[in-house]
Structure 1
């Protein structure tokens, strides 16, 4: 094993990440309906204007360049683009094109996500993911999105965290569409894989060779009771299903999930083989799994095993799992992009150290031959955090949710120092 590097190469990309619904504001989609139904942890929370990125996008691009970022991840909001099935909003398409061109003019390479959890209000009623027709409607949407990217040298993420969408929306019923059915979960999983394939094809036909992949939330897992064989089995099976099933389908064309009593799939999708140019990794934490003798047989918890203190959202601060995750994706033989990594730090004091310890794992992985090419911090701004509402703060920039003023946190200086100096230094 080589000695870990202390510097990032000149061609390594530092950037920031956002998603449309969480920052843009003024979006009517399935999540807006979910909020009105009182389905968040704070029943009265509403995303509403979010942090008004739709109007303040140039200000936010300047904030990104101020911390040394050269890439900016956004998502396109399907509900803006196709508010009614088959009707595309030309003004919304032109608005996104303008924003992407301005992003490029600010020296930021676009990293564009086609699907980041949200759907038009008609989607779940007319063409939900567990029905084959969903693949065709996503193909048509992706074709219109591809036209927005001409001449931009953008990197494309078809789906953000598809396993989170399935786990939360199809297995637990905790997020839209609110289904709790293992068999339908596996049908939806198959169609999401097929939707990725057709979306990638549409992007390629429009733009030529484009770096296209998915962004997969990947957790480190540990048995809650190290001595318990059932807990250890859950770690093995859960890690394979949650972290790797989608990546492996896009690599081998074989979709395999084996969670007895929960959900099982075994199918071949030959067209999915070698259908990603990069592996996108979102990493935040480690979870401990415990077998319980009732469906769904899994108890999921975060533990502060090292005395570092849980993050403010209640997750373990476990940078060691980041290195193991990056080692694990080396098997796919593709470049790796960290498409999200960040901490809910409401005081703003912990984030520089979090960045330091996690960037150190990136360098350690590179020293072991993992081709990590970029790191996108989640997030540029504090924003609306899904079921958690307005409590968490992941932003490099603190946002006053009343005035929408953006203010730098101490992590801005640290991120800028590393991104521009290319050297991993200890935070002051």
Structure 2
């Protein structure tokens, strides 16, 4: 094993991450419909104007630069771009192009996500993911998005956390489209893999070259009862299915999921083989798995095994799993980008320590030969957190949701110190 690195190389990128629906405001899509149906944990919560990034984007670019960021992750909102099936909004396309050009002018490399959970309202009615028609539909959308990226040297993400979308929306029915069907889950998964490959073809045709990947939510797993054989079996099945099935499909052209009694598939998708230039990792926590004698036979639990205290959203603070996750993706032989990592810390006091412990794992992974090229913190701003509504606060900048004032948290100074000095700084020494 190589000696652990103490500094980040000059080419290493520090950046911040956002997504359109969570920050822009004024979007009508499937999630807005879900909210009106009262299906959030707080039934009356609405995203609404979000934090008005749509109008304050230049202010937010300046905030990112102020913490030393040189990359800014956004998503394109499909519902703005194609509000009716087959009808594209040219004003929305021009607005996104202007935002990307100004991002570049601020010295921020664009990291552009084509699909971050949300869909136009018509999508689930007309061409849902479990139907083959979803693939040409996404291809058509990607073709229009490709024109926005010309000359920007953008890092491009086709799908954000596809397994979260599929498990939440197709297996559990907890998020749009609200289906609970294992067979349809697997059909939708296959079509999303095909859609990624189709989008890649469109991007290459327009741009000539592209740095394309996905952002995969990756969890560390442990048995809830270390002595229970079925809990231990769940752990052996969960990581290949949840963490790696999508990555493996885009590397090998073979999609394999094996979760007996829940959802399984095995299919060749040759057009997906070698279809990424980088591996995107979103890492937050570790889950303890418990077998239960009823479908879907699995419960997720978060436990504070080291006495660090659960994060405010109730997740385990487990940086050790971050290193193992990065070791695991080394197998794909591609550069790695941390496309999300962050903590719900509603007082702001824990975030510098969280950053320190997780960035230390990035350095440890690099010392072991994992080609981690960038780290994007989730998120620049407090924002709307899906089913959790307005409770969680992941932002480097605290946002007053009434006035929309952005205010620096202690993590801003810490992030700036690491990003500009390019070395791991101990919290409390600034």
Determine if the alignment matches structure 1 residue 2 to structure 2 residue 2: yes
| 1:123 maps onto 2:123 in alignment | yes
Aligned twin of 1:32: 32
TM-score for the superposition, normalised by structure 2: 0.99
Task: Determine helix, strand or coil for the equivalent of 2:3.
Answer: coil
Which residue of structure 2 lines up, in the alignment, with residue 299 of structure 1? 299
- SS of residue in 2 equivalent to 1:218: strand
* CA distance in 1: counterparts of 2:104 and 2:331, whole angstroms: 33
- Aligned partner of 2:370 in structure 1 is 370
Give CA-to-partner distance per residue, 1:39-98, whole Å, 9 cap, x none: 000000000000000000000000000000000000000000000000000000000000
2:271: which partner in 1?
Answer: 271
The farther-off stretch of 224-233 and 349-358 is: 224-233
- Cα deviation, residue 302, structure 1: 0.2
Which residue in 1 is equivalent to 2:252?
Answer: 252
Q: Is 1:384 aligned to residue 384 of structure 2? A: yes
**What SS class does the counterpart of residue 156 from structure 2 fall into?**
strand
Secondary structure of the structure 2 residue equivalent to 1:125: helix
Aligned positions, number:
428
Measure the CA separation in 1 of the matches of 2:228 and 2:204.
48
Shift of 1:144: 0.3
Q: How does 1:263-342 map to 2 (within 5 A)?
A: 263-342=263-342
Deviations 1:112-167 (A, max 9, x none): 00000000000000000000000001000000000001110001000000000000
CA distance in 2, matches of 1:38, 1:4: 50
Is 1:132 matched up with 2:119? no
Aligned equivalent of 1:201:
201
- What is the alpha-carbon distance in structure 2 between the residues aligned to residue 204 and residue 285 of structure 1? 35
The whole-number CA distance in structure 2 between the counterparts of 1:363 and 1:268 is: 36
Matches within 5 A, 1:46-57: 46-57=46-57
Residue 192 of structure 1 is matched in structure 2 by: 192
Residue 224 of structure 1 pairs with residue 224 of structure 2: yes
Alpha-carbon displacement from aligned partner over 1:327-367 (angstroms, at most 9, x marks no partner): 00000000000000000000000000000000000000000
Moved more, 199-208 or 323-332: 199-208
Q: For 2:135 and 2:191, how far apart are their aligned partners in 1?
A: 6
SS state at 2:271 partner: helix
Aligned to 1:102: 102
Q: Which residue of 2 aligns with 1:147?
A: 147
The separation in 2 between residues aligned to 1:152 and 1:63, in whole angstroms, is 21
Q: Which runs of 5+ in 2 are unaligned?
A: none
Look up the match of 2:235.
Answer: 235
Once the two structures are superposed, what CA deviation does each residue of 1:1-42 show, in whole Å capped at 9, x if it has no partner?
Answer: 011111000000000000000000000000000000000000
Structure 1 stretch 206-215 or stretch 173-182: which is displaced more? 206-215
**Distance in 2 between residues matched to 1:212 and 1:200, nearest whole Å:** 7
Distance, in Å, in 1 between the alignment partners of 2:166 and 2:225 is 27
Instruction: Please report the TM-score for the alignment, with normalisation by the length of structure 1.
Output: 1.00
- 1:283 partner SS: strand
Distance 1:75 1:425 in 2: 31
Secondary structure in structure 2 of the residue aligned to 1:33 = helix
**Deviation, structure 1 residue 229:** 1.3
Rounded Cα–Cα distance in structure 1 between residues aligned with 2:269 and 2:276: 14
Per-residue deviation, 1:204? 1.0
Separation (CA, whole Å) in 2 of partners of 1:164 and 1:243: 10
- The DSSP-based 3-state class of the residue aligned with 1:285 is strand
User: Map of 1:164-179 to 2, 5 A cutoff?
Assistant: 164-179=164-179
Corresponding residue for 2:345? 345
1:401 partnered with 2:401: yes
Alpha-carbon distance between aligned partners in 2 of 1:363 and 1:201, rounded to the nearest angstrom: 34
- 2:354 equivalent to 1:354: yes
Structure 1 ranges of 4+ moved more than 2 A: none
Residue 309 of structure 1 aligns to a residue in which SS? coil
Distance in 1 of aligned mates of 2:296 and 2:149: 42
Shift of 1:400: 0.1
Deviation digits for residues 347-406 of structure 1 (CA, Å, limit 9, x no counterpart) = 000000000000000000000000000000000000000000000000000000000000
